[in-house]
Structure 1
């Protein structure tokens, strides 16, 4: 279904000389600037009753702006009864603990069975939201917490908070190699020049910052806690591989399986059987997009990653390895 919206606001003298798209983003802050710009171009914004010319049109002050737009169903995908592990829900947001193997958004090779399909099934009103309210994504085989908006206002504010780095996301990971201390990776990330499905550190890419600290040391592996300042595709996986410590099981960035010298049969079996990147979104903290209340959630590390850590711990003990 489509949703008709008709809003009106008065331009103040303080806005004199400002561009139309800038003023609209202030007066109608529930909508993203990109969406407002699109409505201007489509002729759905009026200045004193006339159709606005262009997004960069300068305002004189004291005009009356009218937004008369139709929000079409922006999603062509079908609702499906996908099981969602919801850890929190209210009228504006829900927080999901994503399982391994569950795709967030339909794409090439994954047209159904995604979180988006599940959202359309459980919340039919999400059809009027961009990406059904999905604000940020996790890779298919990364587990853990992600927030989804249930209204235009909530989605707009959450996207803005992400861009302003006001949402805290902390991850648990197991990296290959013995790391002595935590640190920071501040390297831009862009599309790989030849492998178009992969990302890579690229001086011409978008800024990307990852903080990491050592949580536990094993003989030839390290358990980490990481925080993102930015949210680039594959960011943690690319950054850790870039500094020589790719994540255990990463099928894209870790290369061939590396087994510790003298590894027990148990550890060999566990590492060979772990077929995804050892990465879990363990903590999410944000200000509620409507009430402003600070909220935080934790998600326990999944059993398959716990199994890997336990095996690495026993391996270290068996070799009388000490820090």
Structure 2
């Protein structure tokens, strides 16, 4: 069965787009959609440039225009239900909160048509066939663990999406990073597609989307730091990109520079633990939101997973052996 998700996008072109075709310019502006899909929307009259509908994909842009897209995206949900265990933290008639394990992809995609969270949700609650994206309103990376909220009906989805857009949902993460932070702080740096590595994101000053991350020190080790991170926005790979931009990439996040960095004199146990940690050390630990129906303020917590607990314990033992001042 086909369901349709309403897509509403609004972004301003950057000066680097000057002279480019409209379809090319908006493909760079909205990389999460294929160029062919965007061209279809142009031809269908779903794209406005500075408030005017433009239906010619070849039309050249000046590089300063406001692009607005109001379209529908078909969602294939037929035959996608799969019996996959879910760690359910809370559930009622309107929302479902889960604790996602590492290795579980959220949405089906190229190379991951089955075995995703969406497939599991459709099996758990068949009514989600009638909700765009099976009620998923935000995502976690495949190897990030922790809390996600799912809308079980359209009114709940509308409310949760609005809360996310208004930045009233609290999302707090636990992470272990390479390097020793002196103090907490804030990163306010736009994020966009990496210029050459198209599967990665990067801090992009021209044409990136606003992204704000707050972080504070929870525990210092000799060459690593355990931090608590709070998101204001929810860009793809946001915490991973922002911490890497500060030269403090997450442990295990090899895509963003998180290579193994043991301190001097590290034990074999510590070296093996760092080498064996092959996912980004990131866990969505706290989720707070307003219930879509009752308007009650709700808080959910998920314990840090065993692999991150073990990582911190081994780093703590290293500090006990060497002290903090030897690195």
Q: How does 1:1-323 map to 2 (within 5 A)?
A: 34=8, 74-76=76-78, 78-204=80-206, 205-321=208-324
RMSD: 2.5
Q: Does the 8 A contact of 1:74 with 1:130 survive in 2?
A: no
Contact 1:32/1:156, CA 8 A, preserved across alignment: no
Separation of aligned partners in 2, 1:210 and 1:294: 22
Structure 1: gaps spanning 5 or more residues? 4-30, 36-41, 43-54, 57-70
Report how far residue 75 of structure 1 moved. Answer: 2.1
Contact 1:177 1:221 in 2 (8 A): yes
SS at match of 2:150: strand
Please give the alpha-carbon distance, in whole angstroms, between the structure 2 residues aligned to 1:243 and 1:165: 24
> Which structure 2 residue ranges, 5 or more long, are not aligned?
10-43, 45-50, 53-72
Q: Work out the CA distance in 1 between the residues paired with 2:249 and 2:261.
A: 11
Aligned partner of residue 252 in structure 1, secondary structure: helix
What is the TM-score with the length of structure 2 in the denominator?
0.77
TM-score (structure 1 length as normaliser): 0.78
Offset, 1:322: 5.4
Instruction: Summarize deviations over 1:151-209 as a string: whole Å, max 9, x none.
Output: 00000110011000010000000010010100000000000011000000001200000
In structure 2, what is the Cα distance between the partners aligned to 1:115 and 1:276?
Answer: 18
Report the CA distance shift for 1:255/1:278 in structure 2 as closer, same or farther (over 3 A): closer
Q: Which has the larger radius of gyration?
A: 1
Please list the CA deviations of residues 207-255 of structure 1 after superposition, one character each: whole Å capped at 9, or x if unmatched. Answer: 0000000000111100000000000000000000000100000121025
Q: How many residues align?
A: 266
* Closer, same or farther: CA 154–219 of 1 in aligned 2, 3 Å: same
Cα distance between partner residues in 1 of 2:74 and 2:261: 50
Deviations 1:133-167 (A, max 9, x none): 00100000000000000000000110011000010
CA–CA distance in 2 between the matches of 1:254 and 1:288? Answer: 38
C-alpha distance after superposition, 1:28-67 (max 9, x if no partner): xxx96849xxxxxx9xxxxxxxxxxxx99xxxxxxxxxxx
Deviation at 1:296, TM superposition (A): 0.3
